[in-house]
Amino acid sequence: MSFIQLENITKVFAGGEKPAVDHLQLNINKGEIITLLGPSGCGKTTTLRMIAGFENPTNGTIQIGDNEVFSDAHSLPPEKRGIGMVFQDYALFPHMTIIKNVMFGLNKWGAREKRKRAKEVLELVGLEDYGSRYPTQLSGGQQQRVALARALAPKPNVVLMDEPFSNLDAGLREKMRFDVTNILRKTNTTAIIVTHDQKDAFAVSDRVVVMKDGLIQQIAAPKEMYRCPKNCFVAQFVGKTNLLTGTMDTDLRNIHTHIGKVTLPNEWQERLDTVKLSIRPEGCSLSDEGAYCGQVERVTYSGEYQELHVRLHNEPELSEEPMLIYAPVEKDVEIGTIVSFDIKPELVALVE
Ligand SMILES: Nc1ncnc2c1ncn2[C@@H]1O[C@H](COP(=O)(O)OP(=O)(O)O)[C@@H](O)[C@H]1O
Ligand SMILES: [Mg+2]
């Protein structure tokens, strides 16, 4: 049985027309790191708050470890759910030293155990020498680690983090993604992280849950999510893509589109007529004798690669979107250049 079970969780706020969270179904294993990913307003924070016990679902049940923490019959208060919370702004107490901040969640522990445990978790996050400082004397990344240490101190069943990286600048953000996952892994902590940033989600999670309008769109490991997005929304939300319509060949593998024949990585399980394809820009590689050919309309240089917008020659109508293709930076490409390219089936997916 899964360690955490969210069964059919629905939340309708008073005055809200549509549910903020709609029949959410999710099982999480012990030690797993899960991310809720989606645009602003899709119900991520509400889901997290219901797990924490700050908000009661309208319907559904929540199981954490051995405890049913919410059902029609009862709702356990947050402090009895065994959760550790890390807030977006870290919510450290400015007038307390770091060690006092960490000890705050341990009020039921004896004085000596409290201090011992606080030192232990500060060491775990690499801040054992900072116990007597105040939060304002620490950098953003260090404050983040204190918040995590405080959440981990009472040995919670699960750590919940709402947008933990959004207050950090790009360089530090990458380091913190690594540090936070490292600490969670080392302690075999189960964690649910909320973010609207696909890069955060992919870098830290075992599985990603993409949400939209309160509904789960797809649950998958990052690689699978990127290569096999289930629908157009997921395909566009996790990275850039080309969406094309086509008709399926009787071989169940080739799709006839306005740019020509595009091949799926595997035979589809059933014959469909009209289908939608997602083709990742990295799946299109320039090649002297490629199967597809077109004129470059736009070049955007990113440093790591060049984004080309290529207008295909055999497009029946100019209203079709140009193809987005990534070209290596060392390649000289200019607007107006005719290029040819191939498409790797591994980065083609059939989407709903
Ligand atoms: N306390 C509340 N009262 C009424 N509506 C709310 C409340 N909290 C959130 N909502 C609404 O629920 C939806 C989901 O919000 P939220 O869970 O905060 O989204 P996210 O964290 O994904 O940005 C939004 O439409 C939001 O306006
Ligand atoms: Mg939110």
Query: Residue 101 C-alpha to ligand 2 middle, in angstroms?
Result: 24
**Among 10, 13, 49, residue to substitute to test ligand 1 (most atoms within 8 Å of Cβ):** 13
Q: Are residues 44 and 109 in the same domain?
A: yes
Structure tokens belonging to residue 163 = 């947008």
User: Could you tell me the pLDDT band of residue 314, with boundaries at 50, 70 and 90?
Assistant: low
| Residues of the domain holding 71 | 4-232
Query: Residue 16 C-alpha to ligand 1 middle, in angstroms?
Result: 9
From the CA of 13, give the closest atom in ligand 1.
4
Measured from CB, residues less than 6 Å from any atom of ligand 1 are 13, 16, 20, 38, 40-46
Q: Are residues 43 and 171 in the same domain?
A: yes
Query: Residue 56 C-alpha to ligand 1 middle, in angstroms?
Result: 13
Q: Are residues 162 and 274 in the same domain?
A: no
* CATH at residue 34: 3.40.50.300
Under a CB-based contact definition with an 8 Å cutoff, are residues 277 and 254 in contact? no
DSSP 152: H
**Among 17, 46, 197, 212, residue to substitute to test ligand 1 (most atoms within 8 Å of Cβ):** 46
Whole-angstrom distance, CA of residue 177 vs CA of residue 170: 11
* CATH at residue 312: 2.40.50.140
Under a CB-based contact definition with an 8 Å cutoff, are residues 86 and 151 in contact? yes
Of the two residues 78 and 107, the one the predictor is more confident about is 78
From the CA of 36, give the closest atom in ligand 1.
22
Q: Are residues 86 and 207 in the same domain?
A: yes
Q: Give 202-227 pLDDT, tens digit per residue.
A: 999 999 999 999 999 999 999 999 99
* Length of the chain (residues): 352
Whole-angstrom distance, CA of residue 64 vs CA of residue 192: 12
Closest CA to 119 of 150, 87, 96: 150
Q: Are residues 302 and 264 in the same domain?
A: yes
Q: Give 226-274 pLDDT, tens digit per residue.
A: 999 999 999 999 999 999 999 999 999 999 998 999 999 999 999 999 9
Q: Are residues 166 and 260 in the same domain?
A: no
Q: Give 61-89 pLDDT, tens digit per residue.
A: 999 999 999 999 899 999 999 999 998 88
Query: Residue 306 C-alpha to ligand 2 middle, in angstroms?
Result: 33
From the CA of 14, give the closest atom in ligand 1.
4
Q: Are residues 85 and 201 in the same domain?
A: yes
For atom 11 of ligand 1, the residue with the nearest CA is 20
User: Could you tell me the pLDDT band of residue 328, with boundaries at 50, 70 and 90?
Assistant: very high
Whole-angstrom distance, CA of residue 221 vs CA of residue 131: 37
Domain limit, last residue, from 232, 257, 289? 232
Query: Residue 52 C-alpha to ligand 1 middle, in angstroms?
Result: 15
Query: Residue 20 C-alpha to ligand 1 middle, in angstroms?
Result: 6
Query: How many structural domains comprise the chain?
Result: 2
Residue 59, classed as helix, strand or coil, is strand
- The pLDDT, as a whole number, for residue 184 is 94
Residues 19-29, mean pLDDT to the nearest whole number: 98
Q: Are residues 178 and 276 in the same domain?
A: no
For atom 5 of ligand 1, the residue with the nearest CA is 13
Whole-angstrom distance, CA of residue 9 vs CA of residue 21: 7
- The pLDDT, as a whole number, for residue 89 is 85
From the CA of 42, give the closest atom in ligand 1.
22
User: Could you tell me the pLDDT band of residue 316, with boundaries at 50, 70 and 90?
Assistant: low
Whether 340 shows a pLDDT value over 60: the answer reads yes
Residues 333-343, mean pLDDT to the nearest whole number: 94
- The pLDDT, as a whole number, for residue 31 is 96
State the DSSP H helix or E strand holding residue 200, giving kind and residue range, or none if neither.
helix 198-204
Instruction: Count the Cβ atoms, other than its own, within 10 Å of residue 53.
Output: 19
Q: Which ligand is nearest to the CA of 215?
A: 1
